[in-house]
Amino acid sequence: MEPNEGIIYEYVWIVIVAAIVAGLAASLAYYGIALDLNPACNATPIDVDKVLQEFKPGVKELGPGIYQVDILAGQFFWNPNKIVLKDPVRVEFRITSKDVVHGFEIVGTSVNVMVIPGYIAEFSWEPPKNAEGRYLIICHEYCGIGHQEMKAELIIERTNTLLDGADIDALEVTGGDIGKITEPTYIEFEGVISG
Partner 1 sequence: MRLDEDLFAKITVVFSFIIMAVGGLFGLVQALNRVPFLEMPGLLEVSDANYYRILTCHGVCLAVAIPIYWITGLAAFLSPRILKVGLDKRLLGLSLAMMLLGGVMATIVILAGKANVLYTFYAPMKAHPGFYWGAALLILGSWVFIAAFVKQYLQWRRQNPGVGTPIAIYGLLATFIVWIEATTPIVITVLKDFIPMSMFGKHVDVLETRTWFWFFGHALVYFWLLPVVTMWYYLIPKKLGVPLFSESMAKVAFILFILASTPVGLHHQFTDPGLAPEYKYMHTVLTLIVASPSMLTGFNILATMERAGRAKGGNGLLGWLAKQPWKDPVYLGLVVSMIIFGVGGITGIINASYQLNMVVHNTAWVPGHFHMTVGNMVVIGYTATTYAMLADLFKRKLISKTTAYSHILLWSIGLFIFSLAYYYVGLHGAPRRTSNIEYGGLLPQSWVFPMEISAIGAILMFAGGVFAVYTVLGSLLFGKSRGVQIPGFSIGNPHPEATTFNPLLENLKFWVIFAALLIIVAYIFPFYEIFSRGLSTVPPVATGLG
Which residues in the 2-31 window bind partner 1 by CB under 8 A? 3, 6-7, 9-10, 13-14, 17-18, 20-21, 24-25, 28-29, 31
Q: Which amino acid is located at 171 in the chain?
A: L
Which of 111, 112, 84, 78 lies closest to 96, judged by CA?
78
Please tell me the distance from the alpha carbon of residue 132 to that of residue 155, in angstroms, as a whole number.
7
Q: Which is nearer to partner 1, 61 or 110 (CB)?
A: 110
Contact window for partner 1 (CB under 8 A) among 57-65, 82-90, 159-167, 178-186: 178-186
Provide the minimum distance between the beta carbon of 164 and partner 1 in the complex, in angstroms, as a whole number: 26
Under rule CB under 8 A, residue 155 binds partner 1: no
Q: Give the CA count within 13 Å in the CB-facing half-sphere of 42.
A: 9
Is-contact 84 90, C-beta < 8 A?
no
By DSSP bridging, strand 102-106 and strand 133-139 are antiparallel
Q: Binder to partner 1 among 34, 39, 160, 188 (CB under 8 A)? A: 39
Please tell me the distance from the alpha carbon of residue 44 to that of residue 183, in angstroms, as a whole number.
37
Q: Binder to partner 1 among 151, 155, 158, 171 (CB under 8 A)? A: 151
Binding residues for partner 1 restricted to 42-81, rule: CB under 8 A: 42-43, 45-49, 75
Q: Binder to partner 1 among 163, 187, 192, 193 (CB under 8 A)? A: 187
Q: Which is nearer to partner 1, 7 or 61 (CB)?
A: 7
The burial class, CB within 10 Å (0-12 / 13-18 / 19+), for 143 is buried
Under rule CB under 8 A, residue 170 binds partner 1: no
Q: Binder to partner 1 among 144, 157, 161, 168 (CB under 8 A)? A: 144
Under rule CB under 8 A, residue 141 binds partner 1: yes
Under rule CB under 8 A, residue 153 binds partner 1: yes
* 26-56 burial: b if 16+ Cβ within 10 Å, else e: eeeeeeeeeeeeeeeeeeeebeeeebeeebe
Contact window for partner 1 (CB under 8 A) among 37-45, 52-60, 61-69, 155-163: 37-45
